[in-house]
């Protein structure tokens, strides 16, 4: 187990290093001048040159990348014109637009994205696994056909359309809830939950269709195996077969996919965050790309990459726990 974890952590560091180098390289090829965007349209060429020097954009690309890596390990000092500003390790740089430390910016935005992802995870597991299991147990009947139509419709519906429909129905017509406005959990846990209810439902219902189809196919595959027929021949009840064997057989792929989806959700929920005004990492990433704010983009991409890598590692561990035939090495 220890050797497995060391190998995976070493591989994760290499993946994150390659990811940071790739993002830096892509931004060298991107059109636009970050110094001009940071300074504004009315700046003179001399002022833009001064901003470029302050941001360190006049240095060669390799030098800037080396300084970025150094900041991650030892921290960096930035000139403010009249003094020096220190950025402690792991330093992801200063935002070109707000001059805020990217590490602080990510720490501010991470709780919103984590709240959205974890709440949606609960919904898509409960709804998706429940619908998939019911479809498998009612195979060929009207219940299975109705659930198949619903899951296909949910799969084909874009997430922002589903979110708009929920907003119009729940907030505009029925007026069961006010329009959502993100409230941090530390300020008011009750308002935090009420204001995230629609974003959770939007993301959870959208993802649950995929899990329903996966659970259905995995359960049917397990129920068709030889040992299940043997249990039935010995008179084992259908409830025991489903709860002790069919669900266990369907669990590994659901666990693996859930871990990966939670990892990618840290940057992939941008549509949901934008629709409901949630100040999360996905919205921060899109805003950073629009104004070529390289430190913010690289920082958010590294956080997302770390979440995905850790999710892969967690998926492997949970997979081994759910299926004893899997050996970690």
23-76 confidence digits (pLDDT tens): 777 777 766 777 777 777 777 888 888 777 777 777 888 888 888 888 888 888
The tally of domains found in the chain comes to: 2
In this structure, the answer to whether residues 81 and 144 fall within a common structural domain is no
| Structure-token pair, residue 294 | 């390289």
With helix as H, strand as E and coil as C, how does 260-309 read?
A: HHHHHHHHHCHHHHHHHCCCCHHHHHHHHHHCCCHHHHHHHHHHHHHHHH
In this structure, the answer to whether residues 288 and 314 fall within a common structural domain is yes
20-35 confidence digits (pLDDT tens): 888 777 777 766 777 7
In this structure, the answer to whether residues 85 and 172 fall within a common structural domain is no
In this structure, the answer to whether residues 181 and 82 fall within a common structural domain is no
Domain finish residue from 87, 102, 117: 102
- What is the spatial distance between Cα 121 and Cα 264, in angstroms, rounded to a whole number? 12
In this structure, the answer to whether residues 131 and 92 fall within a common structural domain is no
pLDDT band at residue 306, thresholds of 50, 70 and 90? confident
Domain finish residue from 102, 126, 155: 102
In this structure, the answer to whether residues 61 and 138 fall within a common structural domain is no
| Structure-token pair, residue 46 | 């001399």
- What is the spatial distance between Cα 219 and Cα 110, in angstroms, rounded to a whole number? 36
**Domain at 125, CATH number:** 1.10.3720.10
Does some domain include residue 329? no
- Which of 135-144, 188-197, 209-218, 259-268 is the least confident region? 259-268
| 82 Cβ neighbours under 8 A, 6+ residues apart | none
Mean pLDDT of the chain: 82
Looking at residue 285, its pLDDT comes to 85
Domain finish residue from 60, 83, 102: 102
What is each CA distance from 189 to 106, 115, 186, 192, 195, in whole angstroms?
21, 11, 7, 5, 10
- What is the spatial distance between Cα 308 and Cα 329, in angstroms, rounded to a whole number? 20
Whether the pLDDT of residue 266 is over 80: the answer is no
Its domain, for residue 126, covers 103-322
């Amino acid at each position: 187990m220890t050797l497995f974890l060391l190998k995976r952590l070493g591989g994760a560091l290499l993946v994150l290093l390659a990811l940071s180098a790739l993002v830096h390289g892509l931004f060298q090829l991107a059109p636009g001048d970050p110094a001009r965007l940071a300074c504004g349209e009315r700046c003179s060429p001399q002022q833009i040159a001064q901003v470029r020097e302050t941001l360190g954009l006049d240095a060669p690309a390799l030098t800037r990348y080396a300084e970025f890596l150094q900041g991650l390990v030892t921290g960096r000092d930035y000139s403010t014109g009249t003094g020096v500003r220190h950025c402690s390790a792991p330093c992801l740089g200063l935002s070109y637009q707000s001059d805020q430390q990217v590490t602080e910016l990510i720490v501010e935005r991470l709780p919103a994205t984590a709240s959205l992802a974890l709440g949606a995870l609960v919904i898509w597991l409960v709804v998706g696994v429940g619908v998939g299991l019911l479809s498998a147990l009612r195979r060929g009947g009207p219940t299975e056909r109705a659930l198949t139509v619903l899951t296909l419709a949910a799969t084909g519906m874009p997430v922002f359309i589903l979110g708009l429909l929920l907003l119009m129905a729940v907030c505009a017509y029925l007026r069961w809830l006010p329009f959502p406005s993100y409230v941090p959990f530390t300020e008011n846990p009750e308002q935090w939950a009420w204001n995230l209810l629609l974003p959770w439902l939007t993301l959870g219902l959208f993802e649950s269709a995929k899990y329903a189809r996966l659970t259905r196919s995995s359960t049917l595959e397990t129920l068709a195996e030889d040992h299940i027929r043997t249990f039935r021949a010995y008179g084992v009840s259908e409830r025991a077969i489903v709860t002790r064997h069919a669900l266990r057989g369907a669990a590994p792929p659901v666990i693996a996919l859930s871990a990966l989806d939670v990892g990618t959700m840290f940057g992939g929920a941008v549509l949901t965050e934008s629709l409901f005004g949630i100040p999360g990492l996905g919205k921060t990433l899109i805003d950073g790309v629009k104004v070529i704010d390289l430190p913010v983009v690289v920082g958010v991409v590294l956080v997302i990459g770390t979440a995905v890598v850790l999710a892969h590692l967690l998926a492997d561990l949970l997979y081994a726990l759910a299926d004893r035939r899997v050996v970690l090495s």
